Amino acid sequence: MAIPDRFNAFRIHQDDSGYHAGLEPIGLDQLNPGEVVIRAHWSSVNYKDALAGTGKGKILRRFPLVGGIDVAGTVVASTDPAYREGDAVLATGCGLSETRDGGYSPYVRLAASAVIPQPTGLKPREAMILGTAGFTAALALLRMLDNRQTPAHGPLAVTGATGGVGSLAVDIFTRAGFEVHAISGKADQAGYLRGLGAPRCCRVRCWRPPGRWNRRASVAGWTMPAARC
């Protein structure tokens, strides 16, 4: 497939005029080096993408960069023998929109080590609906199974349950057979969390001994006090 000389990408700058982002025409030679060029079909909008695009969080380590922390599409050029033109692939994380140009561009150039084949049974759009948040939640499940923690060990608590990773964690762990207790500071979202499969919702208020749970999947990254609703 012929790659156009110029195409529009969502690029983020920090320069003498301040922090700004928007669509602008660029060429392939303005993207980071890499062995694989992807024709992007889908990307997700992660909370981290919002922080990067608005400058509300210190996400980017260098400027300018194309935003988007993940991407799914097809290979249009590759110097790595592992990938050929037409292969369906995706990439999540790996420095996208932090130190490397990301997925908010019709064409994305990546290191071969950042690319994986599209999983069987997933379409590109579905892969990006799950996105980096779903991948993170799935890794938590994989780690628990590797540790031989099963539903028989008791309920599992998910903190930050209404967020992207938290919501998908509730859904994924429930589908895997775990009894999920969803912890959130948003009491009005209890119905939403129960709809994802959590039989019990907890609100952030006071400490309960963690021994009553099989495991805590902490989206917040720290021990969060909770009380059962």
pLDDT tens digits, one per residue of 40-76 = 999 999 889 999 999 999 999 999 999 999 999 999 9
Q: What is the pLDDT of residues 68-103, one digit of tens each?
A: 999 999 999 999 999 999 999 999 989 999 999 999
**Residue 92 and residue 135 in one domain:** no
Residues 11 and 112 in one domain: yes
Looking at residue 80, its pLDDT comes to 98
Q: What is the pTM of this model?
A: 0.83
- Under 8 Å between Cβ of 180 and 173: yes
Yes or no: say if 68 and 23 are a contact pair by the CB < 8 Å rule: no
- Position 38 scores a pLDDT of 98
Domain shared by 112 and 145, yes or no: no
Q: Does 152 map to a domain?
A: yes
Whether 87 is in a domain gets the answer yes
Which CATH number characterizes residue 164's domain? Answer: 3.40.50.720
Please report the sign of the dihedral spanned by the C-alpha atoms of residue 137, residue 140, residue 145, residue 148. Answer: negative
Q: Is residue 54 part of a domain?
A: yes
Claim to verify: residue 104 and residue 29 sit in the same structural domain: yes
DSSP, res 188: G
* 3-state SS class at 137: helix
Q: What is the CATH number of the domain that holds 83?
A: 3.90.180.10
Q: Would 2 be classed as within a structural domain? A: no
Answer whether residue 124 is part of any domain. no
Residues 83, 35 share a domain: yes
Q: Confirm whether 40 is domain-assigned.
A: yes
State how far the Cα of 24 lies from the Cα of 57, in Å rounded to an integer: 22
Q: Are residues 26 and 62 in the same domain?
A: yes
Last residue of a domain, one of 117, 149, 165: 117
Reduced to 3 states (helix: H, G, I; strand: E, B; else coil), residue 192 is: helix
Please give the residue range of the domain that contains residue 90.
7-117
Spatial contact of 3 and 24, defined as CB atoms under 8 Å apart: no
Tokens representing 83 are 């990938």
Are 41 and 125 a contacting pair, CB within 8 Å?
yes
CA 6 to chain centroid: 28
Smallest CA-to-CA distance from 30 within 88, 109, 90 is with 109
103 and 190 co-located in one domain: no
Amino acid at 178: F
Residue 1 maps to a domain: no
| Euclidean distance between CA atoms 51 and 219, whole angstroms | 17
The dihedral through the CA atoms of 10, 89, 81, 94 has a sign that is: positive
On whether both 57 and 107 belong to a single domain, the answer is yes
- How many domains in the chain? 2
- Looking at the DSSP assignment, which residues form a beta bridge with residue 126? none
Residues 162 and 189 both lie in one domain: yes
pLDDT at 206: 45
Same structural domain, 109 and 178: no
Residues 153 and 106 occupy one common structural domain: no
